Structure 1
Amino acid sequence: MTDKPKALADVTILDLSHLLQGPFATQLLADMGANVIKVERPGQGDLFRTLTFNNRWVGGSESPNFLAWNRNKRSLALDLKAPDAKAILYKIAEKADIVVQNFRPGVLGKLGFGYEDFRKINPRIIYCSGSGYGDSGPYLSRPGQDMLLQGLTGIAAATGRGDGPPVPVGSGFSDQIGAMNMVYGILTALYWRERSGEGQEIKVDLMSAMLAHQGQEMLMAMNFHEDFQRPRSGIGHPGMDAPFGVYPTSDGWVTIAMSPFKRLVGVLGDDNLLVYDDPKTLFERRDEVWEELAKRTKAWSTAELMKALLAVDIWCGEVKTHLQAEQDPQVRHMQAIASYEHPVAGHVKVVAPAVKMSATPAEIAKPAPLVGQHSREILAEFGYAADQIDALVASGAVGETLPG
């Protein structure tokens, strides 16, 4: 635990979000000290508590998907449809700075938890909504899931080999980009409120986010009226020429980025490859060039090839698995992997906060919570007496889970 101040220590966030987009956004803010009150369904909690990879559970019962996006938060288990829920959330909203939610458009508004409802209680409140496709239009009823957005916005069609199917990115890329846009909007709104005293509503949708984060690819396609054609080889981007790509070695793979072709040929030791050395050829025959280069790189071990390429300033890198990345010397040097102790899962390794700040550093101060673990604590902070809390728990409006 650091004794340095937290930049967002006086910011309270009412977190009504679930799954990945909203929870990652609020975790980023929690890492910087924000007081995040995560509202979950009694007993069940966030849907991500029941989803995992390959039916594997940390500590035997905890979802890695949930643990990844919910540290540094407290859980208030609340039945949003219970009559008492509205009074509780409105009472918290009187002092809250931010509301974050990623329900389908209109769902919370029908329950009385939309922006206008909270604004009447607290005109300074900042209300951030996340969705798949905005709050109107022909896709309004479609599910806004990450891979579906990758398919709709061009990134899957631009990824993979030309003789194979489109390839989604191997992580929840759309949701994480959406989360970053939420944080960007929230911090902008906080700064504006400091100047104006006014709150506002923020809307983030995954479709717009994914298009914006493919700005250079979209600009090329739209202005030249031509889609990228995926290469049939390991070329790493549909708009790039050789040698840009992924190449086999005798014991693994290496990446080679924008590098002088003649210098690369010099390392590989075969001047016959220089027949390809002009920009037009390196693009139009890039699959052929990749195949010829790959025949040569296979003769090297990864370590030997990396040493030779780096010696002449070729832009290159090893291809590593997640476990290999954890042990990477630069990753270890940067202390990019951290851990925390969870009351059920035990010792949990996590990725450390990525943003470094000298005066107000991010910190992992709390593990991901159990469902309703902090219900009593939170309600007491907002003025509820012990007997009132007992009654709310007894009625089922409020839930709780105690560690151990």
Structure 2
Amino acid sequence: MPAPLPLDGVRIFDLTRILAGPTCTQLLGDLGADVIKIERPGEGDDTRRWGPPYVKGEDGEDTSESAYYLCANRNKRSITLDLSKPEGVALAKKLLAECDVLVENFKVGSLAKLGLGYEQLREEFPRLVYCSVTGFGQTGPYAKRAGYDFLAQGMGGIMSITGTPGVEPVKVGVGITDVMTGMYAATSILAALRHRDRTGEGQHVDCCLLDTQVAWLINEGTNYLVSGKVPQPLGNAHPNIVPYQVFPTSDGHLILACGNDGQFQRWCDLAGADDLKGDPRFATNPLRIVNRDALTPRIAEYMKTKTTDEWVAALEAAGVPGGPVNTIDRVFEDPQVKARGMRIEVPHPLAGDGTVPLIANPVKFSGTPVEYRRAPPTLGQHTDEVLGEVLGMSAEEIAAEKAKGAI
């Protein structure tokens, strides 16, 4: 018998959509939680319609499931529940009595209007861990604003240091603030569950995009706090390490990442750059940072003398970090990515060939490996199953709720 997954027995009432919240609940589902995704009848998660591309059906035509939706919704069960109706709210509370965690990303105050706010539920469900994922948090002057990843990247400073100097600010190519907020939320929920299991007390976990993006400034944010100097965009260069950037080769581009003085000296030996190796201006990393403008163009000239593949092989043999800039198709063909199993195929009821390709969870457990138990669900796919299994409702009782428009 395989060991139970870490969160086996934990049930999540998932009131999230788009990316940040679903990233959180997908991670919890990957770890074994029973995630019940609550969706509005006839509508569902907004991202279901965020295509193309869509899953192709047996006829080769687009289905209703977008690739965007697929990216953050595996290992969940979908039920439809109309929370605008008292009957829907009543069913929600019955389900909450059987759940350990509620995760929601409604605007501040919206669920309270339905009687599902944290303060309204805490006495009835004292063990419930209630996690809110919003744009700006539950407090402060921006609390009631709608928040989006793009806004958080701008307001949180990352765009001011991303891209090439002298051009307009650039966002990260994926919704990284959403993703990181989801990860912080998942980690916080695990800690709150640990506390609940020890004390019997649930609590409210408040996660937001802006806070996460400010935290994600990491070294550049701390550089500013310590020095008082406002960081500027450096293109592909690093503020604290030189050389650590992209350089043109004779046939493409390569990342050279010398994280210490020994690696830089070994690169000089590979390149035949005795002039740079012996130059006192470049002897240490702090000196290379001060003299960045003098050093970088000279490194670039040496990098043009070999192809990308020649440099990759030479750098690896010498123990100097470096690598190509892969397009996404090459990422999934990379032998290391293949060896780590980062592409998976999951059975899906709408897919013409029976499965949909997904990106794997990156965490490898020695004793309780991640299981891909469920494909991202179709809208309301598990309504009857969940209500029957979790609440013990009969087919007739479920039909009556449908007739009332609750589900």
Both structures adopt the same fold (TM-score exceeding 0.5):
yes
Q: Does 1:390 align with 2:402?
A: no
User: 1:384 Cα deviation (Å)?
Assistant: 2.0
Amino acid at match of 1:303: D
Change (3 A) 1:6 1:42: same
- Distance in 1 between residues matched to 2:253 and 2:74, nearest whole Å: 35
Select which of 310, 317, 321 maps to 1:315: 321
- After superposition, the C-alpha distances for 1:168-209 in whole angstroms (9 at most, x for unaligned) are 112111011111111111100111111111111111111111
Aligned pair partner of 2:55 in 58, 83, 86: 58
After TM superposition, the score normalised by the length of structure 2 is 0.91
Pairwise mapping of residues 190-269 of structure 1 onto structure 2 (< 5 A)? 190-231=193-234, 234-235=236-237, 237=238, 239-257=239-257, 258-260=259-261, 261-269=264-272
Worse-matched range after superposition: 245-254 or 101-110: 245-254
Distance 1:190 1:241, change over 3 A: closer
CA distance in 1, matches of 2:360, 2:396: 40
Residue of structure 2 equivalent to 1:19: 18
The match for 1:359 is 367
Alignment match of 1:153 (pick from 153, 156, 167): 156
Change (3 A) 1:378 1:241: closer
Question: For 1:120, what is the secondary structure of its paired residue?
Answer: coil
Residue number in structure 1 paired with 2:355: 347
Q: Amino acid of the residue matched to residue 388 of structure 1?
A: E
Distance 1:367 1:79 in 2: 24
Within-5 A mapping of 1:70-89: 70-89=73-92
Deviation string, structure 1 residues 278-322 (Cα, Å, up to 9, x no partner) = 456532442453233223212311110112222222121222122
Amino acid at match of 1:122: F
Contact 1:259 1:315 in 2 (8 A): no
SS in 2 for 1:107: coil
Describe the superposition over 1:234-270 as per-residue Cα deviations: whole angstroms up to 9, x where unpaired.
42x2x13431111122333211112433432322224
Question: Residue type matched to 1:174 in 2?
Answer: T
Q: Which deviates the most, 141-150 or 201-210?
A: 141-150
Query: Kindly tell me: are residues 218 and 77 of structure 1, through their superposed partners in 2, closer, same or farther at Cα, counting changes over 3 Å?
Result: same
- Aligned alpha-carbon RMSD (Å): 1.9
Measure how far apart 1:157 and its partner are.
0.9
- The answer on whether the counterparts of 2:82 and 2:89 sit within 8 Å (CA) in structure 1 is no
- Matching residue of 2:184: 181
Name which of 51, 70, 75 aligns with 1:67: 70
Aligned mates of 2:110, 2:197 — CA distance in 1: 30
The answer to whether 1:29 aligns with 2:28 is yes
Residue 300 of structure 2: which of 294, 297, 303 is its match?
A: 294
| Alignment of 1:133 onto 2:136 | yes
Q: Which moved more, 1:306-315 or 1:178-187?
A: 306-315
The C-alpha deviation readout for 1:77-96, integer Å capped at 9, x for no partner, is 11110121111011111111
**Does the 8 Å CA contact 2:108/2:144 hold for their aligned counterparts?**
no
What do residues 312-335 of structure 1 show as CA deviations (whole Å, max 9, x unaligned)?
Answer: 221212221222111111111121
Measured at CA, do residues 356 and 92 of structure 1 come closer, stay the same or move farther in structure 2, by a change above 3 Å?
Answer: same
State the SS of the aligned residue for 1:203: strand
Larger CA deviation: 16-25 vs 338-347:
338-347
Identity %: 39
Q: How many aligned residue pairs are there? A: 392
Distance in 1 between residues matched to 2:136 and 2:205, nearest whole Å: 14
Residues 359-404 of structure 1 deviation map (CA, whole Å, 9 limit, x = unaligned): 3221101100111111111111213221121122233221xxxxxx
For 1:151 and 1:35, how far apart are their aligned partners in 2? 35
1:8 counterpart SS class: coil
Query: How many angstroms does 1:33 deviate by?
Result: 1.3
Code of the aligned partner of 1:128: C
Distance between the aligned counterparts of 1:194 and 1:352, measured in 2? 30
Q: 1:277 aligns with which of 271, 276, 282?
A: 282
The one-letter amino acid of 1:157's match is S
Q: Which residue of 2 aligns with 1:401?
A: none
Aligned counterparts of 2:404 and 2:293: Cα–Cα separation in 1? 67
Residue identity in the other structure for 2:297: E
Structure 2 CA distance for aligned equivalents of residues 299 and 149 of structure 1: 42
Q: Indicate the residue corresponding to 1:402 in structure 2.
A: none
1:150: how far off?
1.1
User: Who is 1:305 aligned against?
Assistant: 311
Q: Which moved more, 1:83-92 or 1:304-313?
A: 304-313
Query: Which runs of no fewer than 5 residues in structure 2 stay unpaired?
Result: 57-61
Which letter does structure 2 place at the counterpart of 1:101?
E
TM-score by structure 1 length?
0.92
What is the CA–CA distance in structure 2 between the aligned matches of 1:4 and 1:118, rounded to whole Å? 34
Contact 1:99 1:127 (C-alpha < 8 Å) held by counterparts: yes
Offset at 1:25? Answer: 0.6
